[in-house]
């Protein structure tokens, strides 16, 4: 048994603001919203939230003693629910059904559970071919984990399940999992090959970043591939080459992957080689801002320019600096986009809203001398459903230059 704690029920009352959030379906209850709670609450206990006036149940959540988000909601109690193995099995089944359309395409990699958005706050589950990688960010799940892992395996029909732990959980005494544990089936090698809309990729499911790969941009990568036939492409912050490889596989003439990490560029080259392509794949290792300025100085332009940076605003205080960086990238990107070319600008900072990001891009591009059209604005792929405002982090704008 990996966890011996048997959760108990807690009676909870919130202040008016906290109660309103729960009633509206928000999955987070902050510690300062709690006005009354049963004695001796422990992480993993089931918090039963009662309304102040009529004393009726308005939500069920899991208590987290170590987080300012003290209760993570798993059920908005308009209808009664018993929180047990069957409850979680049913929720996983619903999540799987939401992905059915994607799985009818030539794709065998997908996010099965997207944390709060699928009713599993602090828990992510990604499938790469026949391997399921579960990433645990919160110990609230430890008392329930065995049955959840069993359901995930049965519903997705994977052959192997790998456990990944957040940094805070890796040295925790409350369990005896280790990061990278194979907890079901066997794994012959760390790097797993998978398919995304007919294009082959690989992910290191034991040591890779997060669960090994970023699946949220899948639809954008496919679209960039379709736009790249016979074109020159620049992929800035390319990481493992998601956009680059789709471009190559779709007949791009030349693709340049730019990233600060040499290791990421090695992965991009390897991912490229999994597919048949006739174009040239170049790589540039260095700081994106410096390298883009250097390319501009050398008079380089590309038919398709993709700029997909990491999150610039991990906390509230970084928002203004993040916006300055996005503005700078839009400006540099415009200078690198060829005549009649397309510039694709993305952001994964949840604290910078989509409205604010798109407005900023338009403002910067309008200040340049060239005419452009906003061709498309996109968000997450279908296996990253959004159920609350903070869950929406990804946005992507396509800007076509007319000269």
Residue count of the chain: 403
| Joined tokens for residue 389 | 């405002």
The whole-number pLDDT of residue 1 equals 41
Q: From residue 273, give the alpha-carbon distance in Å to each of 176, 205, 308, 376.
A: 39, 19, 22, 30
What's the farthest any 2 CA atoms get from each other in the chain?
70
The mean pLDDT of 11-21, rounded to a whole number, is 95
> Which residues make beta-bridge pairs with 76?
59
pLDDT bin (cut points 50, 70, 90) of residue 265 is: very high
Which of 162, 207, 212 minimizes the C-alpha distance to 187? 162
Return the half-sphere exposure (C-beta side, CA atoms, 13 A cut-off) of residue 3. 19
Which of 187, 122, 180 minimizes the C-alpha distance to 148? 122
CB atoms within 10 A of CB 212: 27
pLDDT in tens, 89-106: 999 999 999 999 999 999
pLDDT bin (cut points 50, 70, 90) of residue 332 is: very high
Task: Please check whether residue 192 is in contact with residue 203, taking contact to mean a CB–CB distance below 8 angstroms.
Answer: yes
pLDDT in tens, 45-75: 999 999 988 889 999 999 999 899 999 999 9
The whole-number pLDDT of residue 173 equals 76
Higher pLDDT, 208 or 385: 385
The whole-number pLDDT of residue 324 equals 96
Q: From residue 130, give the alpha-carbon distance in Å to each of 37, 91, 108, 158, 162.
A: 43, 21, 8, 5, 11
pLDDT in tens, 194-205: 999 999 999 999
The answer to whether residue 3 scores a pLDDT higher than 70 is no
The mean pLDDT of 334-348, rounded to a whole number, is 97
d(CA 24, CA 19): 9
Average pLDDT, the chain: 94
């Amino acid at each position: 048994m990996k966890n011996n704690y048997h959760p108990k029920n807690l009676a909870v009352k919130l202040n008016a603001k906290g109660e309103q959030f729960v009633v509206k379906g928000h999955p987070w209850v902050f510690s300062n919203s709690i006005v009354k709670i049963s004695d001796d609450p422990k992480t993993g206990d089931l918090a039963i939230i009662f309304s102040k006036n009529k004393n009726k149940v308005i939500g069920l959540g899991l208590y987290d003693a170590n987080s300012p988000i003290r209760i993570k909601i798993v059920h908005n109690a308009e209808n009664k629910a018993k929180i047990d193995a069957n409850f979680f099995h049913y929720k996983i089944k619903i999540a799987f059904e939401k992905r059915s359309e994607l799985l009818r395409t030539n794709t065998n990699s997908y996010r099965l559970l997207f944390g709060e958005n699928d009713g599993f706050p602090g828990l992510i589950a990604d499938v790469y071919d026949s391997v399921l990688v579960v990433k645990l960010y919160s110990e609230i799940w430890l008392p329930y984990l065995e049955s959840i892992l069993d359901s995930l395996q049965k519903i997705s029909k994977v052959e192997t399940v790998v456990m990944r732990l957040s940094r805070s959980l890796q040295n925790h005494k409350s369990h005896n999992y280790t990061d990278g544990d194979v907890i079901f089936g066997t794994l012959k090698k760390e790097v797993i090959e998978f398919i995304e809309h007919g294009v082959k990729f690989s992910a290191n499911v034991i040591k890779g970043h997060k669960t090994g790969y970023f699946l949220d941009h899948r639809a954008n990568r496919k679209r960039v591939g379709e736009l790249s036939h016979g074109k020159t492409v620049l992929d800035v912050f390319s990481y493992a080459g998601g956009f680059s490889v789709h471009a190559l596989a779709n007949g791009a003439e030349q693709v340049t992957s730019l990233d600060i990490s040499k290791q990421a560029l090695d992965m991009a080259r390897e991912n490229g080689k999994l597919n048949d392509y006739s174009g040239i794949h170049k790589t540039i290792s260095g700081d994106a801002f410096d390298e883009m300025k250097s390319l501009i100085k050398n008079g380089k332009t590309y038919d398709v320019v993709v700029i997909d940076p990491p999150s610039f605003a991990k906390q509230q205080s970084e928002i203004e600096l993040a916006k300055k960086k996005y503005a700078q990238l839009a400006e540099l990107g415009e200078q690198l986009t060829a005549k009649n070319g397309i510039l694709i600008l993305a952001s994964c900072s949840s604290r910078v809203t989509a409205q604010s990001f798109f407005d900023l891009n338009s403002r910067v591009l309008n200040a340049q001398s060239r005419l452009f059209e906003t061709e498309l604005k996109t968000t997450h792929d279908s296996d990253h459903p959004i159920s609350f405002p903070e869950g929406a982090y990804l946005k992507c704008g396509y800007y076509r230059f007319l000269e």
